[in-house]
């Protein structure tokens, strides 16, 4: 089966406002990716290329060397890469064998350009994130 | 058009990448290339995406090769950039059977789309989407393997420079050993022979993958190529030049006493 | 699997009943026939001389050649001389008799040698008749033999005081050997390639903008040197003076097979450019001496000063005795032989001028007389043999090992001290004699040309990539495509393993930064954060103090 399970996508706040059809379109773009235990999934300060959704396994998050959180099935990370190709803000390491669904901005971009509605909704969720980050 | 072709039929670099096309030319010229297929960038992406139709087509076409397999990326969008420099080129050795091919292809796709690959492309000014084609061949179990340049890359002299080590040639390409080094003139006479320090050999593992085997001290410092081998390599250099022209970077391997050509591309430096 | 068929055919028989050791440090390749004929007698005579002078318990050293490879053995002392040797060893230290040798060197041996070198090198072999050329070849050979003997004669004086100093300080402190040898720095300008002539040259060039412009040009180096020689006034004179001094020296090694400086104008020009551009090396040797002295127990400090003084006094003799004796003479012999070689090649008698270097001296003269042997092909195959083999093809020892030398502590003090000093010197200095003033120097394969100085960063893998900052020198075991991402930041690349066709070598060349691969121990010997100079043209990495 190609792509990520739609249900998994539903839980991602960034995609919260997408309807079923839009979610399906996005879900189809994902590809499976496996990381071995101990592998660095992404490194703080380097350019990002893909957004990941965890299907199974555990990953740790650290910023400036200090551990911040652990991620599990259903969690996601790296969404900034879909928007602005910017640098990663944290280092993510696979604590166990890690199965993910990944989406690169190359794949996401055409969809965004073709479907303005998705873009608008992404902007709205991001704006929300910003407001809550500023508030805390 | 078909995204999976036997090497003999591969000619389009924008679809199959220069490594595959180079090998295609070699096969058509009668050079000793191990049997194999080329998979287009689009095919690789579809397999990575999990598209069932593409996956079965690939497995069905490649199955006659048997196993184990060597899977090498063949960058399809050089844009004139030097391949060895601009690419994040992944080679997967010892994919044990054709059924293990789809995950290997996915791994290759991801390596071309990884953070560091994309970062690197941006840094060197390649802003287009990466497209990575693949070459799949029977994996050899060589006694010796390595690299040969048909021109001295340091002095520019009209010589053949050969570096050789035991086992799979990755040990030489990736610089894991100090290889034996030989310089020959155009006629094949040895101008210099310098034994290296070949402490490890890359060998195939049962069930897939490779491992680093420790080489006993005596063998590590003994010449691994004799006069017959050098004569064969000299002949191969000449034939490659006839097909491709001067200034070639050749990857070769000697398995069961037979010399094979694994790659032949332009010397960049 | 094939092995080197040629090496398999070589038989290595011990030349006699003794125990023989290969000397790959001085002789990494097989020697020419000429050398194997000239060297042994001169070597034995010179070493016997220093053994007697110093009262050593050896008769001298002998060098034998098996398949062209040099094997050394120690000769026993003449029994009847042993009592006077014991006495002599005491006299040596009481009278500091090495100073007598230094005096002889400075006042007689060195100036006489230099005068003969200059006289011989002023002859143009191409202008000589065949008979005159033969006579000239024999003169050059005789001079070379005398110079080899001279070199060996001064060997003990060159090393015993240093060995004595090191042996004593090793008893008092645990300062490592390379650091102790480093205290000699500044005592020998010639070790650093310096000389009065080089100083004069540097001064002249620095004062002459036209000459500097020419020096910096990328024109044919041979032409650049010729033009610099022709400059008016002080510049031309200084260039000529310098080239006369160093031009006929082999750049590496001792045999007539080694090219001389004038034959490698590129390397020569590079050396001159470096000298002209170079800042004086920060000389903190005084401080380092003080540091070591502070570690010596107070009751020994006066002795420390005395021994160090003698070692530093004698230190320059180590290099001078070679550079001004047989090294120069070898270059002169080569030049003469090549003159014969050109003549023989144009007569069709040999295939290439340099093949003459594989003929013995009398064979060279015979060829000039029209002798039938050795044939052109025979000489060609001797040359090919030497090119195709290295010390790695030869066994490290031949014959049965001897019992170890007597425990020095059971011997009279003079001899014991001498043996310790010599043992320390020959063991450490001889073994690393090439490397001594090259401590902190690593050699590898010259993968990508250029010279770069920067901070070494030891990187074991992608996890450490972020430690690299702009201008660093990457030091690692080997590289893969994953390292490409670092290239825009790097000033140079150094690896432990890998060949000239490996990934690291290729990317260094493509990226145009200096690269030295296959150093074997770069990651062990270079500390993270150390300042290094990477010379990708010479294949050397120097850890800077």
Of the candidates B122, B138, B154, which is a domain's last residue?
Answer: B138
Q: List b or e across B80-99, with b for residues whose CB sees 16 or more CB atoms inside 10 angstroms.
A: ebbbbbbbbbbebbbbbebe
Q: What percent of chain C has pLDDT over 90?
A: 48
User: Distance (Å, rounded) from C-alpha C485 to C-alpha C505?
Assistant: 15
Q: Do B91 and B164 reside in the same domain of the chain?
A: no
What is the strand order of the sheet C69-75 is part of? C60-66, C69-75, C20-22, C397-398
The DSSP result for C393-430, as a single string, is GS-SEESPPPPPPPPGGGS-HHHHHHHHHHHHIIIIII
For residue C264, the model assigns a pLDDT of: 77
pLDDT of B19-56, one tens digit each? 899 899 999 999 999 999 999 999 999 999 999 999 99
Question: How far off is chain B from C386, nearest CA to CA, in Å?
Answer: 9
Question: How far off is chain C from A117, nearest CA to CA, in Å?
Answer: 37
How does residue C384 score in pLDDT terms, banded at 50, 70 and 90?
confident
Residue in A with minimal Cα distance to B52? A1
Residue in C with minimal Cα distance to A93? C463
Q: Do B208 and B126 reside in the same domain of the chain?
A: no
In order of C51, C65, C190, C368, the CA distances from C363 in angstroms are 34, 18, 36, 9
Intra-chain end-to-end CA distance of chain B, in Å: 35
Asked, as a colleague might, if the bond just before B83 is cis with ω within 30 of 0, I would say no
- How many helices (DSSP H) and strands (DSSP E) are in chain C? 23, 12
Q: Do A40 and C462 touch (CB under 8 A)?
A: yes
Interface of A with B (CB under 8 A): 1-3, 31-34, 42-43, 46-50, 88, 102, 104, 106
Establish if C203 touches chain B: CB-CB under 8 angstroms: no
Q: Do C498 and B175 touch (CB under 8 A)?
A: yes
How does residue C148 score in pLDDT terms, banded at 50, 70 and 90?
very high
Residue B260 CB contacts under 8 Å (≥ 6 apart), including other chains: B32, B33, B34, B140, B142, B252, B253, B254
Question: How far off is chain A from C496, nearest CA to CA, in Å?
Answer: 25
Q: Do B130 and B16 reside in the same domain of the chain?
A: yes
Best of B175, B183, B268 to substitute, by most chain C Cβ atoms within 10 angstroms, is B175
C154 or C389, greater pLDDT: C154
User: Distance (Å, rounded) from C-alpha A121 to C-alpha B123?
Assistant: 31
Among the partner residues C390, C478, C482, nearest to B116 by beta-carbon distance? C482
Low-confidence ranges of chain A (pLDDT < 70): 1, 84-85, 129, 132-136
pLDDT of B174-187, one tens digit each? 899 999 999 999 99
Residue B214 CB contacts under 8 Å (≥ 6 apart), including other chains: B199, B200
Q: Do B90 and B152 reside in the same domain of the chain?
A: no
Quote the CATH superfamily of domain A6-129. Answer: Jelly Rolls (2.60.120.10)
Q: Do B134 and B161 reside in the same domain of the chain?
A: no
Interface predicted TM-score (ipTM) of this complex, two decimals = 0.84
Q: Do B50 and A32 touch (CB under 8 A)?
A: yes
Domain spans of chain A, in order of start: 6-129
Q: Do B171 and B122 reside in the same domain of the chain?
A: no
- Structural domain of residue B240, as residue ranges? 144-266
Among the partner residues A2, A47, A50, nearest to B50 by beta-carbon distance? A2
**What element of type H or E holds B162?**
strand B160-166
How does residue C124 score in pLDDT terms, banded at 50, 70 and 90?
very high
**3-class SS of residue C282:** coil
Establish if C13 touches chain B: CB-CB under 8 angstroms: no
Establish if C466 touches chain A: CB-CB under 8 angstroms: yes
Q: Is the Cβ–Cβ distance between B162 and B148 less than 8 Å?
A: yes
Q: Do B174 and B69 reside in the same domain of the chain?
A: no
Tokens of B35: 């049997």
The DSSP result for C111-147, as a single string, is HHHHHHHHHHHTS-GGGS-HHHHHHHHHHHHHHHHHH
Among the partner residues A31, A47, A49, nearest to B48 by beta-carbon distance? A31
- Bridge partners of B142? none
Interface of A with C (CB under 8 A): 40, 43, 45
Residue in A with minimal Cα distance to C462? A40
User: Distance (Å, rounded) from C-alpha A113 to C-alpha B252?
Assistant: 47
Q: Is the pLDDT of residue B230 over 90?
A: yes
For residue C435, the model assigns a pLDDT of: 38
Burial class (CB in 10 A: 0-12, 13-18, 19+), C330: buried
DSSP state of B59: H
The arithmetic mean of pLDDT across residues C22-50, rounded, is 91
For residue C357, the model assigns a pLDDT of: 96
Chain B residue numbers with beta carbons less than 8 Å from the beta carbon of A48 are: 115
- Torsion sign across C-alpha atoms B46, B50, B51, B57: positive
User: Distance (Å, rounded) from C-alpha B116 to C-alpha B119?
Assistant: 5
Chain C residue numbers with beta carbons less than 8 Å from the beta carbon of A42 are: none
Chain B residue numbers with beta carbons less than 8 Å from the beta carbon of A34 are: 103, 106-107
B28-37, C106-115, C116-125, C266-275: lowest mean pLDDT where?
A: C266-275
The arithmetic mean of pLDDT across residues C154-158, rounded, is 90
Q: Which chains would you list as touching C if contact means 3+ CB atom pairs under 8 Å? A: A, B
Tokens of C357: 């270097």
The arithmetic mean of pLDDT across residues B82-95, rounded, is 63
For residue C4, the model assigns a pLDDT of: 41
For C99-231, list the strands marked E by DSSP: none
A110-114, B207-211, C416-420: lowest mean pLDDT where?
A: A110-114
Domains identified in chain B, total number: 2
β-pair type (B144-149, B248-255): antiparallel
For residue C512, the model assigns a pLDDT of: 86
C136 or C507, greater pLDDT: C136
Question: How far off is chain C from B91, nearest CA to CA, in Å?
Answer: 11
Q: Do B109 and B195 reside in the same domain of the chain?
A: no
How does residue C193 score in pLDDT terms, banded at 50, 70 and 90?
low
Residue in A with minimal Cα distance to B48? A31
Q: Is the Cβ–Cβ distance between C10 and C67 less than 8 Å?
A: yes
Say which CATH number the domain at B225 has.
Answer: 3.30.470.20
Establish if C9 touches chain B: CB-CB under 8 angstroms: no
Q: Is the pLDDT of residue B1 over 60?
A: no
Chain A residue numbers with beta carbons less than 8 Å from the beta carbon of B130 are: 106
Q: Is the pLDDT of residue B85 over 50?
A: no
Q: Do B117 and B169 reside in the same domain of the chain?
A: no
Q: Do B157 and B210 reside in the same domain of the chain?
A: yes
Q: Do C498 and B194 touch (CB under 8 A)?
A: no
Say which CATH number the domain at B32 has.
Answer: 3.30.1490.20
For residue B79, the model assigns a pLDDT of: 47
Tokens of C289: 């001496």
Q: How many CB pairs under 8 A join A and B?
A: 48
Q: Is the pLDDT of residue C189 over 80?
A: no
From chain C residues 87-106, the ones with a CB under 8 A of any chain A CB are none
Q: Do B174 and C520 touch (CB under 8 A)?
A: no
How does residue C431 score in pLDDT terms, banded at 50, 70 and 90?
very low
Chain C residue numbers with beta carbons less than 8 Å from the beta carbon of A45 are: 466
Q: Do B85 and B187 reside in the same domain of the chain?
A: no
Q: Do B93 and B164 reside in the same domain of the chain?
A: no
Of the candidates B138, B153, B187, which is a domain's last residue?
Answer: B138
Chain C residue numbers with beta carbons less than 8 Å from the beta carbon of A35 are: none
Question: How far off is chain C from A82, nearest CA to CA, in Å?
Answer: 22
Q: Do A49 and B113 touch (CB under 8 A)?
A: yes
- Bridge partners of C83? none
Among the partner residues A1, A47, A50, nearest to B119 by beta-carbon distance? A47
β-pair type (B69-75, B91-95): antiparallel
How does residue C437 score in pLDDT terms, banded at 50, 70 and 90?
very low
For residue C310, the model assigns a pLDDT of: 94
Q: Is the pLDDT of residue C187 over 80?
A: no
């Amino acid at each position: 089966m190609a792509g990520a399970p739609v249900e998994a996508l539903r839980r991602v706040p960034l995609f919260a406002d997408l309807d079923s059809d839009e979610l399906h379109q996005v879900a189809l773009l994902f590809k499976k990716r496996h990381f071995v235990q101990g592998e660095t999934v992404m490194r703080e300060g380097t350019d990002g290329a893909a957004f990941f959704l965890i299907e199974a396994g555990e990953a740790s998050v650290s910023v400036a060397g200090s551990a911040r959180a652990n991620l599990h099935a259903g969690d996601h990370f790296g969404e900034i890469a879909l928007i602005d190709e910017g640098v990663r803000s944290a280092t993510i390491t696979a604590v166990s064998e890690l199965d993910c669904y990944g989406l690169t901005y190359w794949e996401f971009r055409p969809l965004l350009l073709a479907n303005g509605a998705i873009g608008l909704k992404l902007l709205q969720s991001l704006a929300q994130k910003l407001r809550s980050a500023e508030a805390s | 058009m078909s995204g999976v072709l036997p090497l003999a039929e591969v000619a389009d670099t924008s679809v199959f990448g220069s490594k595959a096309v180079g090998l295609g030319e070699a096969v058509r010229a009668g050079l000793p290339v191990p049997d194999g297929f080329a998979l287009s960038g689009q095919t690789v992406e579809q397999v990575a995406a999990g598209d069932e139709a593409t996956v079965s087509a690939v497995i069905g076409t490649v199955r006659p090769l048997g196993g184990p397999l060597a899977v090498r990326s063949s960058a399809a969008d050089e844009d004139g950039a030097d391949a060895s420099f601009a690419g994040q080129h992944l080679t997967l050795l010892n994919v044990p059977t054709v059924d293990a091919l789809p995950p290997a292809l996915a791994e290759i796709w991801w390596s071309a789309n990884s953070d560091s690959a994309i970062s690197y492309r941006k840094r060197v000014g390649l802003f287009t989407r990466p497209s990575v084609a693949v070459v799949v061949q029977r994996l050899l179990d060589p006694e010796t393997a390595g690299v040969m340049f048909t021109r001295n890359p340091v002095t520019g002299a009209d010589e053949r420079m050969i570096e050789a080590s035991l086992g799979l040639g990755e040990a030489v390409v990736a610089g894991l050993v100090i290889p034996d080094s030989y310089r020959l003139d155009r006629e094949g006479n040895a101008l210099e022979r310098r034994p290296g320090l070949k402490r490890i050999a890359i060998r195939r593992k049962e069930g897939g993958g490779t491992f680093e085997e420790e080489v006993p001290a005596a063998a590590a410092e003994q010449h691994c190529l004799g006069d017959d081998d050098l004569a064969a390599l000299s002949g191969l250099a000449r034939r490659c030049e006839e097909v491709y022209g001067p200034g070639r970077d050749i990857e070769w391997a000697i398995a069961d006493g037979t010399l094979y050509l694994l790659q032949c591309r332009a010397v960049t430096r | 699997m094939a092995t080197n068929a040629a090496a398999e055919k070589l038989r290595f028989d011990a030349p006699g009943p003794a125990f023989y050791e290969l000397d790959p440090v001085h002789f990494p390749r097989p020697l020419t026939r000429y050398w194997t004929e000239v060297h042994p007698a001169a070597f034995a005579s010179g070493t016997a001389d220093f053994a007697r002078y110093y009262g050593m318990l050896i008769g001298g050293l002998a060098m034998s050649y098996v398949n062209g490879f040099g094997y050394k053995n120690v000769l026993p002392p003449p029994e009847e001389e042993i009592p006077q040797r014991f006495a002599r060893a005491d006299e040596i230290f009481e009278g500091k008799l090495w100073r007598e040798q230094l005096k002889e060197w400075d006042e007689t041996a060195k100036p006489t040698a230099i005068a003969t070198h200059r006289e011989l090198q002023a002859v143009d072999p191409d202008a000589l008749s065949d008979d005159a050329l033969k006579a000239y070849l024999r003169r050059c050979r005789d001079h070379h033999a005398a110079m080899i003997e001279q070199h060996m004669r001064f060997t003990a004086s060159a090393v015993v005081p240093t060995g004595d100093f090191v042996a004593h300080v090793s008893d008092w402190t645990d300062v490592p050997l390379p650091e102790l040898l480093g205290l000699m720095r500044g005592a020998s300008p010639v070790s650093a390639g310096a000389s009065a002539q080089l100083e004069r040259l540097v001064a002249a060039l620095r004062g002459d903008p036209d000459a500097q412009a020419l020096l910096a040009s990328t024109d044919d180096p041979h032409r650049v040197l010729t033009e610099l020689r022709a400059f008016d006034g002080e510049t031309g004179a200084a260039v000529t003076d310098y080239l006369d001094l160093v031009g006929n020296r082999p750049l590496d090694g001792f045999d007539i097979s080694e090219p001389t400086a004038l034959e490698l104008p590129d390397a020569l020009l590079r050396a001159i450019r470096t000298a002209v551009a170079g800042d004086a090396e920060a000389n903190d040797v005084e401080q380092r001496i003080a540091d070591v002295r502070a570690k010596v127990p107070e009751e020994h400090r006066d002795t420390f000063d005395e021994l160090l003084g003698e070692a530093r006094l004698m230190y320059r003799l180590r290099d001078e005795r070679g550079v001004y004796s047989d090294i120069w003479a070898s270059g002169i012999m080569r030049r003469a032989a090549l003159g014969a070689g050109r003549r023989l090649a144009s007569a069709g008698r040999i295939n290439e001028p340099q093949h003459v270097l594989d003929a013995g001296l009398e064979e060279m003269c015979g060829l000039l007389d029209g002798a039938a042997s050795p044939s052109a092909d025979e000489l060609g195959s001797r040359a090919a043999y030497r090119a195709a083999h290295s010390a790695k093809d030869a066994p490290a020892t031949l014959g049965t090992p001897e019992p170890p030398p007597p425990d020095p502590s059971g011997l009279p003090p003079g001899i014991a001290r001498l043996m310790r000093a010599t043992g320390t010197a020959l063991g450490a200095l001889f073994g690393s004699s090439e490397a001594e003033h090259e401590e902190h120097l690593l050699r590898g394969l010259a993968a990508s040309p250029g010279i770069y100085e920067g901070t070494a960063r030891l990187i074991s893998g992608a996890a450490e990539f972020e430690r690299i900052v702009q201008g660093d020198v990457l030091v690692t075991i080997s590289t893969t495509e994953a390292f490409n991402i670092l290239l825009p930041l790097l000033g140079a690349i150094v690896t432990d393993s890998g060949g000239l066709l490996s990934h690291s070598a290729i990317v260094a060349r493509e990226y145009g930064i200096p690269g030295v691969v296959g150093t074997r121990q770069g990651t062990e010997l270079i500390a993270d954060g150390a300042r290094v100079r990477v010379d990708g043209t010479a294949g050397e990495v120097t850890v800077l103090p």
